Amino acid sequence: MKEIILIKNGELALKGLNRSTFEDILIKNIRRRLKPLGEFEYRKEQSTVCVIPADSSVDMDEASARVGRVFGIACYSRALMVEKNMEEILKYTPEYLSSQLKNASTFKVEGKRADKKFPLTSPELSALTGAAVLEKFPHLKVDVKNPEVLITIEIREKNAFIRGNQTKGAGGMPTGTAGKAAVLISGGIDSPVAAYMMAKRGLSLIAVHFASPPYTSPQAEEKVHKLLREVSKYSGNITLFTVGFTEIQEQIRGNCPEDLFTLVMRRFMMRIAQRIACKEDCHALITGESLGQVASQTLLALGCTDSVVDMPVFRPLIGLDKDEIISVSRKIDTFDISIEPFEDCCTVFTPKHPKTKPQQSVLENAEKLLDVDALVEKALENTKVMNICF
């Protein structure tokens, strides 16, 4: 007898011939997250992955919390793996699920006999187990339509599994199955949410952050590290490139019309991020922009930002309101870090009246006053690399 974790794949089931590859990547991702907790055996069975700890010293609370953050999992549950005989099943079911059962008022047992050699049919298995549960918890009623606790008894090839209600998984696609992209990460609320949302669709991430010391502080950089550490609990490890941006911002301030500061700066960010992305084998950029949220995020402004790169730019928050973004940021534990008050380079030289309907040609003219290529090269040389692991 042993406690294990049963995992149901999400959209993986739809992937036809690729399914097995997707499943292997999912298992690799789970394995990486659980490795620090001890040894586990992984068994693939139909659309379920059984995660079986080698011994009882493993912290199963932590293991299931970690599983809950792995993308590609529709739902999961802890389960008790017992011998395939009724004596064990009837003895352990009420005992193992007692904490769920004692606070519930209704339940149902669903027997699933995958091994057709097992002497009882699925309905017989359900009826007998239900009776054993009622004997220990006489306050319960059976509700076959909408039970508070759904007990599932699965008879598999080697063992029987007893489980209660399942927990919703992180959903999405296993990280790494959709390729790799570079997220432009600030210390704000939006970009960590954007990173999380695209990792959820199966992208591996690298991150690019622009820092302008001494206008921005070491704490602002540390804040970005903390944010990425939270995101990495879902996405896996993230390589962070911190680009020295001071000279570019000073040049913009010294040479360009004030109402264009932010947009010229955003265009530099995109150019530099694309260069890093290409070198790191990424095929898209990700930003935390949302239509109309600030002057640099109007339709025309976003067009002017996009036009300096040729990679796709993913903006998963484009149609979300701020409160919707905040609710995701709370869910992934980045909100409290994001609101720590350290200045980002965007807020350093903010124009009083930024252009909301910029013209491409006006921006190009303003940039003629700068040596764009040389500034980009210099910034790339002035870049620090660090690995963010959770």
Closest CB to Mg ion belongs to which residue? 188
Given candidates 172, 174, 188, 316, which one binds Mg ion under the rule CB under 5 A?
188
Nearer to ligand ATP, 164 or 358 (CB): 358
Residue 193 three-state SS: helix
CB count in 10 Å sphere of residue 361: 8
Given candidates 294, 300, 326, 362, which one binds ligand ATP under the rule CB under 6 A?
294
Structure tokens at 210: 């622009």
Structure tokens at 142: 């059976």
Q: Is 192 in the site for Mg ion (CB under 5 A)?
A: no
For the purposes of burial, counting CB atoms within 10 Å of the CB of 145, is it exposed (0-12), middle (13-18) or buried (19 or more)?
exposed
Q: Which of residues 331-370 bind ligand ATP (CB under 6 A)?
A: 344-346
Which residue's entry shows tokens 């690298």? 206
Total H helices, total E strands in the chain: 14, 15
Give the C-alpha separation, 150 to 161, whole Å: 14
- 93's contact among Mg ion, ligand ATP, none, with CB below 5 to 8 A by partner kind, is none
Return the range that interacts with Mg ion (CB under 5 A); candidates 78-86, 115-123, 184-192, 316-324: 184-192
Residue 288 three-state SS: coil
Given candidates 186, 235, 246, 249, which one binds ligand ATP under the rule CB under 6 A?
186
Return the range that interacts with ligand ATP (CB under 6 A); candidates 61-69, 96-104, 173-181, 290-298: 290-298
Torsion sign over Cα 251, 253, 254, 259: positive
CB of 225 to ligand ATP, least distance (A): 13
Total residues interacting with ligand ATP, rule: CB under 6 A: 20
Instruction: Give 253-257 contacts, CB < 8 A, sequence gap 24+.
Output: 253/349, 255/366, 255/369, 255/370, 256/366, 256/367, 256/369, 256/370, 257/366
CB of 173 to ligand ATP, least distance (A): 22
- 191's contact among Mg ion, ligand ATP, none, with CB below 5 to 8 A by partner kind, is ligand ATP
Parallel, antiparallel, or unpaired: how do β-strands 73-82 and 141-142 relate? unpaired
Closest CB to ligand ATP belongs to which residue? 188
Return the range that interacts with Mg ion (CB under 5 A); candidates 108-116, 245-253, 330-338, 341-349: 341-349
Return the range that interacts with Mg ion (CB under 5 A); candidates 23-31, 109-117, 343-351, 370-378: 343-351
Give the C-alpha separation, 182 to 330, whole Å: 23
Q: What residues make contact with ligand ATP under the rule CB under 6 A?
A: 184-186, 188-191, 208-210, 269, 287-289, 293-294, 296, 344-346
Residues at the interface with Mg ion (CB under 5 A): 186, 188, 346
